[in-house]
Structures are given as structure tokens and as C-alpha cells.
Amino acid sequence: MYTPPATPPANPLPPELLRSKPGTVTTAQVMLWLQFSFLICCGAGGGLTALFWSEAVNFSDFEFEEDLSQGFEDLALVVTLVIAATIALVILFGILAVKIGAGRRWAQVTTIVVMLLAFVSGFIGIYTGFEASSQAGAPADGTRLIWTLLSLALPLVTLICLFTGSANQWFRQKGRDPLKGLPPQSPPAGQYRPY
């Protein structure tokens, strides 16, 4: 049976041009949205808990005994700073999640820097959390260790996804921008095989 040769499209895409967003970029977006939602749910409370649990800030530092109103003002300032930092991170993660999907190189670089900082601060958190003065030499709490390692997995997966070849091509071509002027392309038709 004769099958006519497939006619190539009038304006074929260059072979390296991606027609759709790679799965690695989508996975990185999902990881950013997960971190975004965790920050909304637990960011301020977790930040305050970390400050007071690691003894970076102690209630005795606020000098409630000497001047109660000044102690409350200092405590309110710390709480406000933690909440403001959480809101800033939530906004940053939301913007980065949207812009890496759009193929913006600056978003890729910023996400890589933020994820590296999150990874490093997570390891510092493990060290300072388990080496606090009151817990020195004590066995590590398993639940806390598991949650810390899970929170380190999100930035790690995001970093791995953003360093793949397909993700780099997506950012190199600036997402779908090069496809805007081209006519729609259909995938090549498969050969018809009779039963």
C-alpha cells in the first residue's frame, strides 16, 4: 500500500525550540508553590518558634521586670519583623513560581540563589537546633529531624529540576515567547497501519 510522504509544515520550528514547558520546570513550580503554602500556613509561627527555641532570642532579653511596656514593645517588634519577613518570602516565592513557568532567566537565577540559601540555613538549623545548650549530647528528636529533612528536600528538588538541560533550554528561549509569532504546529502524524 502506498502512503504519501508527510508534508512538512510551512514554517518548521528549529529542532532545539521547545513547544511546551518541560516537566522539570513544572516540578520546580510545584515545589515553589508547596513552599509558598507552607510559609503561609507555618511561616510566622515557625520563625518565632525557631528564634525562641534555638535561644537566639530569649524572653529575659526583653527585660519585662524593669519596664513592662518596653518589654512588650520589643517583643512586638520581633514578632512584626518575623511576620514581615514571612510575608516578603511568600510574595517572593509566588512571583518566582509564576515567572519560572514563563521562562524568565532572572527568575531561574533568583530561585537558585534562594533555594541555596534555604538549603544552607536548613543545615545551620539542624546544627544549632540539635546542639542547643540545653540539649547538648541529647539524642535528636526523630519527628523534628524528619520535618527538617523534608523541608530540605523541597529546595533540593527545586535546584535539581532547574539545573536540567530541558529547563535551561526553556529559560534560554524565554519560555513560549519565540512561539508567539509562529503558526500553530501539530505533532507529526504517525504512520497509518491497517489491522
> Per-residue pLDDT tens for 30-60?
999 988 888 887 777 776 666 666 566 666 6
Q: Which three cell numbers stand for residue 146?
A: 524528619
List pLDDT tens digits, range 68-105. Answer: 666 677 777 777 887 888 888 889 999 999 999 888 99
Q: Residue 113 pLDDT > 90, yes or no?
A: yes
pLDDT for the residue numbered 133: 45
pLDDT for the residue numbered 54: 57
Nearest-CA neighbor of 112 among 41, 31, 184, 48?
A: 31
Q: How confident is the model at residue 64 (pLDDT cuts 50, 70, 90)?
A: low
Determine what percent of the chain is predicted with pLDDT higher than 70: 57
pLDDT for the residue numbered 111: 93
Residue with more model confidence, 64 or 72: 72
pLDDT for the residue numbered 166: 85
Torsion angle (degrees, nearest 10) of CA 57, 88, 94, 169: -90
Place of cell 528536600: 153
Half-sphere exposure of 91 (CA within 13 A, CB side): 6
Q: Residue 18 pLDDT > 80, yes or no?
A: no
Model pTM above 0.75: no
Residue with more model confidence, 29 or 17: 29
List pLDDT tens digits, range 115-173. Answer: 999 888 877 766 665 554 455 545 556 666 777 777 788 899 999 999 988 888 888 88
pLDDT for the residue numbered 137: 47
161 vs 24: CA distance, rounded Å: 5
Pairs from 142-150 (Cβ < 8 Å, separation ≥ 24): 148/122
114 vs 132: CA distance, rounded Å: 26
* CA dist list (Å): 165 to 24, 91, 172: 9, 28, 10
